[in-house]
């Protein structure tokens, strides 16, 4: 299947309107831009990859912007784990993610004006979503929308720091809430994620209505 990318948003849109679900990732702590070691070279190896498209402004690509944001979040989360325990921090991150994705679902409902399955799936065709994911559509019917995600900008930001556990809690965990909060009749089935070290994310959204 062909990669589903047609255009990229402006830097302003990317900063303020990025959608959730594996890619989306407006983490509250990650907005802190602190001085720190350079980003690993592994994040810049694919010179022609869409994540390396330049954002408006000097020397800033999607990949670099995402890495800088999440690096600050990872540092803060690891500090908190030392202070109050690893499991407690993961628990709190998951709770925040659920709340954030619930709010996102409400914004999507308001923006789209409908809560049907077709409207929800339209979000995955949004250029802002496609700028942060590389996906292959496996099934696309009135009842099932299944995708295979092979590249995720968020995963590429967390995994080089061996922080897939934080990334899963902060990004992937909320996908289920996002679907059911949009409409309780939408069910997500998934048993693999890039963030957990698998070869892909296998999202399967099912309309049970």
| Mean pLDDT along residues 153-180 | 95
Q: Which residue has the tokens 């709770």?
A: 95
Most confident of 20-24, 60-64, 156-160, 180-184: 180-184
Give the mean pLDDT of 168-192. 97
> At 64, is the pLDDT very low, low, confident or very high (cuts 50, 70, 90)?
confident
Sort 160 into a burial class: Cβ within 10 Å, 0-12 / 13-18 / 19+: middle
Residue 199 pLDDT more than 70?
Answer: yes
d(C-alpha 88, C-alpha 110), whole Å: 34
Predicted pLDDT at 18: 38
Residues pairing with 207 in the sheet: 186
Q: Which of 169, 127, 176, 171 is nearest to 152 (CA)?
A: 171
Residue 178: pLDDT band with limits 50, 70, 90: very high
14 versus 54: the higher-pLDDT residue is: 54
How many other β-carbons are positioned within 10 Å of the β-carbon of residue 29? 17
Report the candidate in 117, 121, 96 with the shortest Cα–Cα distance to residue 184: 117
CA 132/CA 153 separation, integer angstroms: 5
Q: How far is CA 169 from the centre of its chain?
A: 11
Residues 6+ apart with CB under 8 A from 58: none
Domains and CATH numbers, the chain: 19-207 (3.30.1380.20)
Residue 209 has pLDDT above 70, yes or no: yes
Helices of type H across 85-182: 86-112, 117-122, 127-130, 153-158, 164-167, 175-182
**Residue 9 near residue 131 (C-beta atoms within 8 A):** yes
- Higher-pLDDT residue of 132 and 36 is 132
Give me the pLDDT at residue 34, please: 35
CB 206 within 8 A of CB 144: yes
User: What's residue 58's pLDDT?
Assistant: 56
Contact between 155 and 25 under an 8 Å Cβ cutoff? The reply is no
How many other CB atoms sit within 10 Å of the CB of residue 195?
24
């Amino acid at each position: 299947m062909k990669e589903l990318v047609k255009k990229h948003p402006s830097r302003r849109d990317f900063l303020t309107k990025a959608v959730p679900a594996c890619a989306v990732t407006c983490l509250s702590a990650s907005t802190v831009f602190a001085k720190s070691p350079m980003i690993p070279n592994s994040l810049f190896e694919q010179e022609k990859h869409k994540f390396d498209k330049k954002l408006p402004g000097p020397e800033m690509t999607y990949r670099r912007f995402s890495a800088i944001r999440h690096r600050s979040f990872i540092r803060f989360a690891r500090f908190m784990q030392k202070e109050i325990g690893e499991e407690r921090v993961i628990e709190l991150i998951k709770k925040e993610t659920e709340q954030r994705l619930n709010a996102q679902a409400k914004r999507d409902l308001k923006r789209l004006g409908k809560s049907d399955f077709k409207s929800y799936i339209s979000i995955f065709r949004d250029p802002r979503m496609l700028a942060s994911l590389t996906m292959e559509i496996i099934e696309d019917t009135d009842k099932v929308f299944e995708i295979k995600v092979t590249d995720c900008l968020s995963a590429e930001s967390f995994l080089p720091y061996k922080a897939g556990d934080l990334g899963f809690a902060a990004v992937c965990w909320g996908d289920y809430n996002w679907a059911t909060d949009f409409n309780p009749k939408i069910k997500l089935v998934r048993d693999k994620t890039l963030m957990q070290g698998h070869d892909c994310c296998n999202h399967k959204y099912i309309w049970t209505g």
